[in-house]
Amino acid sequence: MASKSYLRSAGTAVYAPSEAHMQNKMIFASDIWVLAVIIIEMLTGVHPYAGRTQLETIENIKKGKMVVPLPDYIQGELK
């Protein structure tokens, strides 16, 4: 049975996925999540989980609460 490789979380807190905040670990899928956050921020100009403070942003990430709706010009599989 293949085992998953885990890394301790490191980096900028507002770009770390929920598992990094709640379990202090990251997996390959964490990198994909971070890439998606960066792409959304590039397309909209706003961090998709942005809060008034860094702690509020982290809470939004932990709850999976996106605060920025994706614009209509983002279509298809990208959405």
- Residue 79 forms part of a structural domain: no
Structural domains of the chain, count = 1
- Residue 15 forms part of a structural domain: yes
pTM for the predicted model, two decimal places: 0.74
- All residue ranges of the chain with pLDDT < 70 are 1-11, 79
- Residue 76 forms part of a structural domain: no
Full domain range(s) for residue 53: 7-67
At residue 77, the pLDDT reads 78
- Residue 12 forms part of a structural domain: yes
Identify the residue whose tokens are 């010009």.
Answer: 73
- Residue 25 forms part of a structural domain: yes
Amino acid identity of 59?
E
DSSP 2: -
Instruction: Output the CA torsion sign for 11, 16, 32, 4.
Output: positive
At residue 47, the pLDDT reads 94
Between CA 26 and CA 29 the distance in angstroms is 8
- Residue 24 forms part of a structural domain: yes
- Residue 75 forms part of a structural domain: no
CB 31 within 8 A of CB 25: no
At residue 1, the pLDDT reads 44
